[in-house]
């Protein structure tokens, strides 16, 4: 069965997209731990990041690097942090999280954002990605 992220890539489930390449896709996390929480995924459905072949593993990280640079321009932060968990959704995803405090990378914490705020933020990040 297709993962929820494959359905997002296919356009069957809406998302706040920030970037897309032939093999990778980035969108805002629906339940952000901080403003600007982005997920970068390979379009190919693979559960565990270390099962990706070397080419796609590298491509995904270079894609995440490009997205993180755009994200940092829009969401002021000391650094954009990167985390891989993958316990909830069995489809590889890199969390990009703007960090201003060590505690910002806390998956127990969430910020409320309205749909119109998420939509505007996604457009701003998309425009900032080179």
CB of 127 to ligand 5GP, least distance (A): 19
Active site (annotated) includes residue 37 = no
Question: Of 49 and 130, which CB lies nearer to ligand 5GP in the complex structure?
Answer: 49
Q: Which residues pair with 6 in a beta bridge?
A: none
CB of 78 to ligand 5GP, least distance (A): 21
**Cβ-Cβ contacts under 8 Å for 4 (sequence gap 6 or more):** 13, 89, 91
| CA pair distance 89, 124, nearest whole angstrom | 26
Catalytic residue among 37, 91, 93, 95, which?
A: 93
CB of 92 to ligand 5GP, least distance (A): 10
CA distances from 127 to 5, 18, 69, 75 (A): 22, 8, 12, 13
Question: Of 94 and 130, which CB lies nearer to ligand 5GP in the complex structure?
Answer: 94
What residue ranges bind ligand 5GP (CB under 6 A)? 4, 13, 15, 27-31, 85-89, 93
| CA pair distance 39, 104, nearest whole angstrom | 16
């Amino acid at each position: 069965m297709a993962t929820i992220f494959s359905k997002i890539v296919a356009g069957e489930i809406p998302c706040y997209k920030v970037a897309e390449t032939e093999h990778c896709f980035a969108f805002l996390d629906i339940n952000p731990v901080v403003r600007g929480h982005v997920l970068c995924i390979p379009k190919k459905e693979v559960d565990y990041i270390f099962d990706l072949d070397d080419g796609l593993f590298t491509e995904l990280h270079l894609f995440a690097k490009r997205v993180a640079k755009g994200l940092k321009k829009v969401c002021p932060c000391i650094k954009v942090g990167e985390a891989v968990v993958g316990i909830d959704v069995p489809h590889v995803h890199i969390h990009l999280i703007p960090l201003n405090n060590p505690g910002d990378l806390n998956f127990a914490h969430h910020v409320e954002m309205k749909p119109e705020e998420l939509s505007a933020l996604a457009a701003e990040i998309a425009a900032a990605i080179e």
